[in-house]
């Protein structure tokens, strides 16, 4: 009971002297629009006009702007590492990998040569080799037919488990293969042309490349038909399908599971989780009816696709034309330094992160962030206690879970060891990327028979993002997001609570969204709800989802309020909880204007500015298919219209477009 009692502690202000603080940047506003007509445009229109979409981006907003700042900081680190660093050192690994990515002359001279040996291996394989080859891809190179991963057991969060997951779709989502609206057909045609182009670059004659494209499209379309929908994959109870090894062999006999496991470097597996049984059944069927050449064409394409960004410019251009231009609407490729930088920043992420933190993350930021987190926990605890739709029994369990959160801020206490990766400039760029990927995959599979490492971070410090992990019941805020406009020590409380405060509340609320609520305080998938409470929660969630599904995103296509349910609930909860925490501060209790705006107005304007962005129509349509987050405009205009204080802050009344009748407003957390 002591932990629950701590929730009654009042939140403290982060800042004390309003007169010297940053408030609202009026340049971000579009005052030609009333906040009651389109609050997103009013709050962000000035920023959007001043930041027209650069053709190298499909979407660019304040979130991406902060990521650009982080990228520039990482560039300053990597480009000053120098040469001649000791072999195997972080500086040697990071510096050499970046330098190889920048060596366009060598890459263009090598063309498809780095692929030759592996393509020959695939071409010379026999049916008995296919299971081993699929596992070879799963070691960091791709997901032909399906995917595999080691993660915490959903019902035993201290134990790791091997999962088999639907995959094999180059376009990422089943709808790109099955729907027939104009944009989807356009993307599908571009993808088929890409397969032909890529296979020709890899050495296939035109006729053979066309045959390969036919095989790839036929296989991936079959996989798409069997795949779970996006909405279905949100239900963890449908994904938890345990099988013993003997059952796996009996149900899916056309995969040599002994050879598959051996190629992953694991043995002694007694049970696995088949997350989508129908998908794996389709794989089993395909491996029984496809010819050897069809399988080889599919695998050869998967290899060339995986390597395409690390080869000559014609490979990179082909990759860009489908995945960036056709899918997202990007018009210009990012400069080479950004593309090269992303490789060590990803494959040697914590090595780069260690250098990043040393230079850019002050210890004081971590302390201030911890205070904010504590304040938000107080507010969420108050909300849970005051819920009218939840019974006392479920409230106790919810408060126990809240007070069991692990909070990670800035960077891990222990850094990853990458000494096992040999970055050798005598080999091709792709060979080194492949080695780094395989090293990472081997590390992941090596965790199978070890206890879950709950100190491990799922993001690097230089990543501009945050997350909630249900299996460890943790919230994490990497160093790079703790910068303006999300977190600014020189800004007033309203700005910080409206920005990073909502991010904190968002991640906390994920522990209680439509997925997170299925896990208890120890990270186990346990039903800690009464049936009545679960029914009331679902009714409220469905009502919220309907608000988003009513929004048209482009070309008559509606947003998917079911697919985005978890993120929408988290936005909704983050706003409500952070606003309550803000009102506990001295500034929040008062009504002192800064830059002509009241504290409540500054809070909502700060929140809107977090999601300011410009975006292509293609990217809107793509994200509506594959992204569980709502578009920025809906994260603002739909979410805030459920908060009574928003209407009061801006005097919004019935008859204005932003107004929502009180009976139609949703309050979940």
From 277, 323, 292, select the one nearest 215 (Cα to Cα). Answer: 292
The two tokens of residue 294 are 């069809």
Q: Rounded to whole angstroms, how far apart are CA atoms 228 and 554?
A: 25
The two tokens of residue 2 are 């002591």
Dihedral-angle region of residue 473 (phi above 0 means left; psi in -120 to 50 means alpha; beta otherwise): left
Exposure of 657 in the CB half-sphere (CA atoms within 13 A)? 11
Largest Cα–Cα separation, the chain: 76
Q: Rounded to whole angstroms, how far apart are CA atoms 155 and 230?
A: 22
From 223, 577, 520, 540, select the one nearest 385 (Cα to Cα). Answer: 577
Taking each helix axis from N to C end, the angle separating 206-226 and 182-201, rounded to the nearest 10 degrees, works out to 140
Residue 308 contacts residue 315 (beta carbons within 8 Å): yes
- Tell me, what DSSP letter sits at residue 18? G
Q: Which of 118, 173, 440, 507 is catalytic?
A: 507
Q: Rounded to whole angstroms, how far apart are CA atoms 3 and 399?
A: 9
From 104, 306, 115, 94, select the one nearest 201 (Cα to Cα). Answer: 115
H-run or E-run covering 474: strand 474-478
User: What does each C-alpha distance from 197 to 90, 150, 215, 322 come to in angstroms?
Assistant: 37, 35, 14, 11
User: What does each C-alpha distance from 86 to 90, 95, 146, 236, 515 come to in angstroms?
Assistant: 9, 11, 40, 47, 47
Known catalytic residue at 507: yes
Q: Rounded to whole angstroms, how far apart are CA atoms 411 and 401?
A: 24
Known catalytic residue at 571: yes
CA angle 586, 592, 594 (to 5 degrees): 115
Q: Which of 513, 571, 600, 618 is catalytic?
A: 571
From 220, 223, 226, 280, select the one nearest 250 (Cα to Cα). Answer: 280
From 490, 425, 568, 579, select the one nearest 103 (Cα to Cα). Answer: 425
Residue 152 contacts residue 160 (beta carbons within 8 Å): yes
Catalytic annotation, residues: 507, 571
């Amino acid at each position: 009971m002591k932990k629950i009692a701590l929730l009654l502690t009042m939140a403290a202000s982060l800042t004390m002297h309003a007169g010297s603080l940053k408030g609202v940047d009026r340049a971000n506003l579009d005052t030609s629009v009333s906040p009651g007509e389109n609050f997103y445009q009013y709050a962000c229109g000035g920023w959007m006009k001043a930041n027209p979409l650069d053709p190298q981006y499909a979407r660019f907003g304040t979130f991406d702007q902060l990521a650009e700042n982080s990228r520039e900081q990482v560039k300053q680190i990597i480009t000053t590492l120098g040469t001649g660093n000791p072999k195997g050192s972080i500086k040697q690994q990071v510096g050499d990998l970046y330098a190889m990515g920048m060596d366009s002359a060598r890459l263009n001279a090598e063309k498809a040569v780095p692929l030759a040996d592996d393509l020959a291996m695939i071409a010379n394989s026999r049916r008995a080799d296919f299971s081993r080859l699929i596992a070879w891809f799963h070691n960091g190179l791709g997901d032909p037919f399906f995917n595999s991963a080691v993660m915490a057991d959903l019902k035993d969060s201290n134990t790791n488990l091997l999962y088999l997951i639907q995959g094999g779709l180059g376009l990422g989502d089943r709808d790109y293969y099955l729907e027939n609206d104009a944009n989807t057909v356009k993307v599908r045609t571009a993808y088929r042309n890409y397969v032909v182009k890529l296979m020709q670059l890899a050495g296939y004659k035109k006729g053979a490349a066309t045959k390969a494209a036919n095989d790839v499209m036929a296989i991936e379309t079959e996989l798409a038909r069997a795949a779970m929908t996006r909405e279905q994959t949100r239900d963890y109870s449908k994904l938890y399908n345990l099988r013993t090894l003997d059952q796996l062999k009996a149900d899916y006999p056309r995969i040599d599971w002994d050879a598959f496991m051996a190629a992953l470097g694991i043995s002694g597996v007694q049970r696995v989780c088949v997350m989508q049984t129908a998908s794996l059944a389709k794989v089993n069927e395909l491996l029984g009816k496809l010819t050897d050449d069809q399988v080889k064409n599919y695998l050869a394409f998967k290899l060339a696709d995986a390597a395409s960004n690390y080869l000559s410019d014609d490979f990179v251009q082909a990759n860009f034309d489908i995945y960036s231009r056709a899918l997202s609407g990007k018009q210009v490729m990012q400069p080479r330094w950004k593309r090269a930088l992303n490789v060590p920043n990803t494959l040697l992420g914590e090595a780069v992160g260690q250098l990043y933190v040393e230079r850019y993350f002050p210890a004081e930021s971590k302390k201030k962030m911890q205070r904010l987190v504590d304040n938000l926990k107080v507010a969420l605890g108050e909300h849970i206690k005051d819920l009218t739709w939840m019974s006392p029994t479920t409230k106790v369990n919810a408060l126990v879970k809240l007070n069991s959160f692990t909070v990670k801020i800035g960077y891990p206490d222990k850094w990853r060891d990458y000494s096992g990766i040999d970055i050798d400039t005598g080999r091709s760029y792709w060979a080194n990327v492949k080695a780094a990927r395989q090293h990472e995959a081997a590390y992941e599979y090596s965790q199978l028979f070890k206890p879950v490492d709950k100190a491990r971070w799922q993001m690097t410090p230089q990543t501009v993002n945050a997350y909630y992990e249900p299996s460890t019941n943790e919230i994490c805020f990497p160093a790079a997001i703790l910068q303006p406009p999300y977190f600014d020590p020189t800004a007033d409380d309203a700005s910080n609570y409206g920005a990073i405060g909502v991010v904190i509340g968002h991640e906390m609320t994920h522990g209680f969204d439509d997925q997170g609520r299925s896990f208890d305080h120890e990270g186990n998938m346990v039903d800690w709800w009464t049936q009545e409470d679960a029914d009331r929660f679902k009714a409220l969630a469905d009502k919220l989802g309907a608000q988003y599904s009513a929004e048209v995103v482009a070309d008559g296509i509606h947003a998917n309020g079911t697919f985005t349910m978890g993120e929408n609930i988290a936005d909704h909860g983050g706003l409500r909880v952070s606003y309550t925490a803000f009102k506990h501060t001295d500034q929040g209790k008062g009504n002192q204007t800064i830059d002509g705006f009241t504290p409540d107005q500054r809070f909502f304007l700060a929140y809107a500015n977090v999601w300011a962005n410009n975006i292509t129509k293609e990217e809107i349509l793509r994200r509506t298919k594959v992204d569980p987050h709502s578009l920025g405009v809906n994260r603002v205009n739909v979410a805030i219209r459920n908060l009574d204080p928003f209407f009061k802050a801006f005097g919004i009344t019935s008859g204005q477009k932003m107004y929502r009748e009180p009976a139609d407003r949703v309050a979940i957390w």
